[in-house]
Structure 1
Amino acid sequence: MTQVPERSHAAARFFSCGNSQVAASSRMSETHQWLHKVTERQQLEVSRVPFSAMDRWGFRPEDGSLAHDSGMFFSVQGIHVRTDSAWRPDWIQPIIVQPEVGFLGLIVKEFHGTLHLLVQAKTEPGNINTVQISPTVQATRSNYTGVHRGSRVRFFEYFDGTRPVRTLVDVLQSEQGAWFFHKRNRNVIVEVFDDIPEHENFRWMTLKQLRTLLHLDNVVNMDLRTILSCIPTVLGRTDAERLLGTVPEGSFAYRLLHSFIGMGNPQLNMSSILSWITDIRSRRECVQRVVPLHHIDRYGWVRTDHSIMHEEKKYFEIFGAEIRTSDREVKSWMQPLLSPTSTGLLALLVKQINGTLHALVQMRVEAGCLNIAELAPTVHCQPANYADAPPEHQPPYLDYVLTLPRTRIRYDSLQSEEGGRFHHAENRYMLAEVTDDFPDEHRAGYRWMTFGQITSLLEHSHYVNMQLRSLIACAAACTTPPG
């Protein structure tokens, strides 16, 4: 892969295509028709099955973990976590252990002066609506090395050094720390210059089209959202001023774009932010220990042949599934799926500070987090899990977000999490602008950051969690309102 170009130049090219009026290979109505046709053709069937009926999956006698007999793919194990949190500082839970690094690749190519992105309509067993728009390549190591004994991963040759490309983004990022143990994916964007073979499940789209689709529920999948969030946004002054001239001055889109591209005055400089992150990671306690899965019954988890579920009916459930589809590398298989028991809430509060829009982020500790804590949205929780929690242990700002007037909400949609491991995992993603009297002093574990500062951290691994990355992609969609 050739050398990464200057990030501000790459940012200018992406912003240009994000605000471009050039039509891609299809209009929005045709995109919906395409998704409908792929859904009909792939004919996905997902059926719950007892664990004992799962072919090649079983509970290991030595530690009780639920695993594939090849030792590949992933397993469900127990994890014991001890933290310094006052609310349930010590617990054991099931967690997905997938040591191999996943691969998320997006191909881009310039047509008529505008970058287009090659996306696929991909079926996942856990998707609410069967097919969602995903990256060009979305695969585990077991997939692209052929452990599943299926057909090859299409277009992977553009990411393994076989074909010449220009690398625009290449960074390891985490997945959901509450459900995965130390899970990481490689997020890659490459620019190609030769002709790409056409396929009915793949389509070229502009960034503007994808951002328009992000205003809809459950259309753009989680893996594509995380790659989109890694696109650089900070521009040089000339490009920044030219881009701001395309948006109505004073509008929310203008102020948001102003924050993304690195203009204005951050409340804290990057050195102060990095020092704050390092301080929290060095002081907060998060001791993780993988334990035999049968230990989970000590903390209220109940395992039957049909599911693993908490006795309070909170958090999530794990069950066995048989999947059949007509258009995947493998046509049928069995696997466990994790299904949350309620819809999550992921909200990012924003406020104008020093003439620049800032987002209120928190450093969040999670059971499976690789590096103690990562930046997360202002509110990051399943509200139903805290229904019986005393007020002092409710997530900060939860009540504030739930009682916000609609006039303060700038973005609001339901988005699915990854459908390959999670079944109907859906979160409400919100972006809300608070009033000037909202306190902006530092609260423990929270800081105000510009969007440009957040995307600058996304050049590096393990600073920004999956949910905040999804919100960054959704927020970027608000710089180019749908239309």
Structure 2
Amino acid sequence: MADVTARIARSAAALASPQTDLAGFDDWFARYGERIYTTAERIPLAALDQWYQTPVTGDLRHRSGKFFTVHGLRVQMPGNAVPWWDQPIIDQPEVGILGILVKEFDGVPHLLMQAKAEPGNPGGLQLSPTVQATRSNYTGVHKGKPVPYLDYFRDTARHRVIADVRQSEQGAWFFRKRNRNMVVETAGEVEVLEGFRWFTLGQLYRLLARDDVINMDARTVLACLPHTSRPDGALHRMTDVLSWIAGTRSLATVHTERIALNALDEWQHSEMGYSHESGGFFDVIGVCVTAAGREVGTWHQPMIEPRGTGVIAFLRREFNGVPHVLMHARTEPGYADVVELAPTVQCVPESYGWLPPGARPRHLDEVLSAGADRIRYEAVLSEEGGRFFHARNRYLIVDSDVPEDPGHPDYRWLTMHQLTRLLRHSHYLNVQARSLVACLRGIEAAPLAA
């Protein structure tokens, strides 16, 4: 593993490559985007082809019995600022594959990325993993074209596995959703299909500093790469960190009950979808998608559309000369194991106008008031465009003076080395934290790449 980690660090330090010239990236991306696109038109839920609302519950299901279901969820968290609520949630029990193929050129590992259009993307193409496919997609339920490069990830015996771990997705919108995050290296020849291109990790880090270029699925896989980081100087021993996480999971009380979509309390149902009566949080909508360059040219589906742009932030501070970030042991109803480590702040600020004052996230005001001199990283990045419509968050890394003891048992300062160790395993860091880990590694690599 030390050899792999050193080679990944070499890729992170490399900005120049004969495979891809970043100076020509925008032109290639724009030209390809003129031919490869998706458009999503809102339509009534009852008009969704191949989807139906069950007669009694109103749950949204695909006629194949595959893909996903949208149903209702009743959540109870006794002692929480909001002790109970109802909401729609996406139930997609199958495990998809998010995979990046790696190959070495001139001694530097390169990553094969795909320029991919998703119906929920707020502007067209984004760079995605080599393979980004649900089980229904890659087993051909949609009756579309085969998924390119899939065999590298379904049959790894002839290749080198660098990372392979099942990770969760948004626990507020998905019910126990997991994807297999994989990085596989090959030494053989690889035909580069249209829309795919080799990048060094350093080049991807540069693009990660720009709005809406690297998609969520690529960010989560990048976070699972091995990483060179200082193992000493942490405020807390790793055994204590694991004990803290196990303790928060043991103490958290979360009860979830599946209920009918048409029986949600405080939610309004119209022909165009479901909305919260406050006008906040998110909507469930139906869309007709027209696509060029996808496995299927047209389809219908439900999507979640959030109300407002979120704020997702790490507070960062050095202790003992070692950078730490403040992690939040966060409970969400869709997590498979109750609690996962989240960024310091993860919320849509507008939503708290309808919630009691005690629900307002700790440290949100510090993040929102941070001056430019304290902001180490800032970009607006999209969430998964296959299920969420124009879901965007402002991702930040902010220097802080919060003390060693953050004053709340659900928060703790951890180092990058500790986060990297946790990322070798499932269900420790949530998807928003994994995105920020990729961003943080990018700004750490910048001095090497300069």
- Bin the TM-score by the shorter chain: over 0.9
Q: Find the counterpart in structure 1 of residue 239 from structure 2.
A: 271
Runs of 5+ unmatched residues, structure 2: none
Q: Offset of 1:440 from its aligned partner?
A: 3.2
| Rounded Cα–Cα distance in structure 2 between residues aligned with 1:387 and 1:461 | 34
TM-score by length of 1: 0.90
Q: Find the counterpart in structure 2 of residue 194 from structure 1.
A: 188
Q: Is 1:290 matched up with 2:284?
A: no
Q: Offset of 1:390 from its aligned partner?
A: 4.3
1:364/1:24 CA distance change after superposition, 3 Å: farther
Counterpart selection for 2:337 from 363, 371, 377: 371
Runs of 5+ unmatched residues, structure 1: 1-5, 235-260
Q: Find the counterpart in structure 2 of residue 326 from structure 1.
A: 292
| Rounded Cα–Cα distance in structure 2 between residues aligned with 1:182 and 1:104 | 17
Q: Is 1:64 matched up with 2:58?
A: yes
Q: Is 1:308 matched up with 2:274?
A: yes
Q: Find the counterpart in structure 1 of residue 67 from structure 2.
A: 73
Q: Offset of 1:163 from its aligned partner?
A: 7.2
User: Any idea what the Cα deviations from partners look like across 1:426-447, whole Å, max 9, x if unmatched?
Assistant: 0000001113x64534522000
Q: Is 1:213 matched up with 2:207?
A: yes
Q: Find the counterpart in structure 2 of residue 246 from structure 1.
A: none
Q: Find the counterpart in structure 2 of residue 258 from structure 1.
A: none
Which residue identity does 1:49 align to in structure 2? I
User: Any idea what the Cα deviations from partners look like across 1:127-169, whole Å, max 9, x if unmatched?
Assistant: 0111100000000000000000001000101111177211110
Counterpart selection for 1:141 from 135, 138, 142: 135
| Rounded Cα–Cα distance in structure 2 between residues aligned with 1:356 and 1:43 | 44
User: Any idea what the Cα deviations from partners look like across 1:238-287, whole Å, max 9, x if unmatched?
Assistant: xxxxxxxxxxxxxxxxxxxxxxx124311000100000100110011011
Counterpart selection for 2:152 from 142, 152, 158: 158
Is the Cα contact below 8 Å between 1:46 and 1:321 reproduced in 2?
A: yes
TM-score by length of 2: 0.97
Is the Cα contact below 8 Å between 2:209 and 2:439 reproduced in 1?
A: yes
| Rounded Cα–Cα distance in structure 2 between residues aligned with 1:471 and 1:24 | 29
Counterpart selection for 1:479 from 415, 424, 444: 444
| Rounded Cα–Cα distance in structure 1 between residues aligned with 2:127 and 2:359 | 38
Aligned pairs (5 A) from 1:433-448 = 433-435=399-401, 438=403, 440-448=405-413
Q: Is 1:231 matched up with 2:237?
A: no
Q: Is 1:458 matched up with 2:423?
A: yes
Which residue identity does 2:296 align to in structure 1? V
Which residue identity does 1:84 align to in structure 2? P
Is the Cα contact below 8 Å between 1:182 and 1:368 reproduced in 2?
A: yes
Q: Find the counterpart in structure 1 of residue 86 from structure 2.
A: 92
Q: Offset of 1:23 from its aligned partner?
A: 1.5
1:269/1:442 CA distance change after superposition, 3 Å: farther
| Rounded Cα–Cα distance in structure 2 between residues aligned with 1:266 and 1:442 | 18
User: Any idea what the Cα deviations from partners look like across 1:102-129, whole Å, max 9, x if unmatched?
Assistant: 1101100000000000000001000011
Is the Cα contact below 8 Å between 1:102 and 1:185 reproduced in 2?
A: yes
Instruction: Please report the RMSD computed on the Cα atoms of aligned residues, expressed in angstroms.
Output: 1.4
Counterpart selection for 1:37 from 20, 27, 31: 31
Q: Is 1:104 matched up with 2:98?
A: yes
After the TM superposition, which of the residue ranges 386-395 and 308-317 deviates more from structure 2? 386-395
| Rounded Cα–Cα distance in structure 2 between residues aligned with 1:24 and 1:129 | 28
Q: Is 1:262 matched up with 2:230?
A: yes
Q: Offset of 1:189 from its aligned partner?
A: 0.5
User: Any idea what the Cα deviations from partners look like across 1:29-83, whole Å, max 9, x if unmatched?
Assistant: 3221121122101242211111111111110124321111111001100011111
SS for the counterpart of 1:479 is helix
| Rounded Cα–Cα distance in structure 2 between residues aligned with 1:301 and 1:63 | 14
Is the Cα contact below 8 Å between 2:278 and 2:354 reproduced in 1?
A: no
1:11/1:405 CA distance change after superposition, 3 Å: same
Which residue identity does 1:292 align to in structure 2? A
Q: Offset of 1:407 from its aligned partner?
A: 0.6
| Rounded Cα–Cα distance in structure 2 between residues aligned with 1:389 and 1:325 | 39
After the TM superposition, which of the residue ranges 366-375 and 386-395 deviates more from structure 2? 386-395
Q: Is 1:350 matched up with 2:316?
A: yes
| Rounded Cα–Cα distance in structure 1 between residues aligned with 2:294 and 2:5 | 34
SS for the counterpart of 2:397 is strand
1:414/1:21 CA distance change after superposition, 3 Å: closer
| Rounded Cα–Cα distance in structure 1 between residues aligned with 2:232 and 2:375 | 23
Identity of aligned residues (%): 43
| Rounded Cα–Cα distance in structure 2 between residues aligned with 1:430 and 1:269 | 27
Q: Is 1:422 matched up with 2:388?
A: yes
Q: Is 1:403 matched up with 2:397?
A: no
Which residue identity does 1:310 align to in structure 2? H
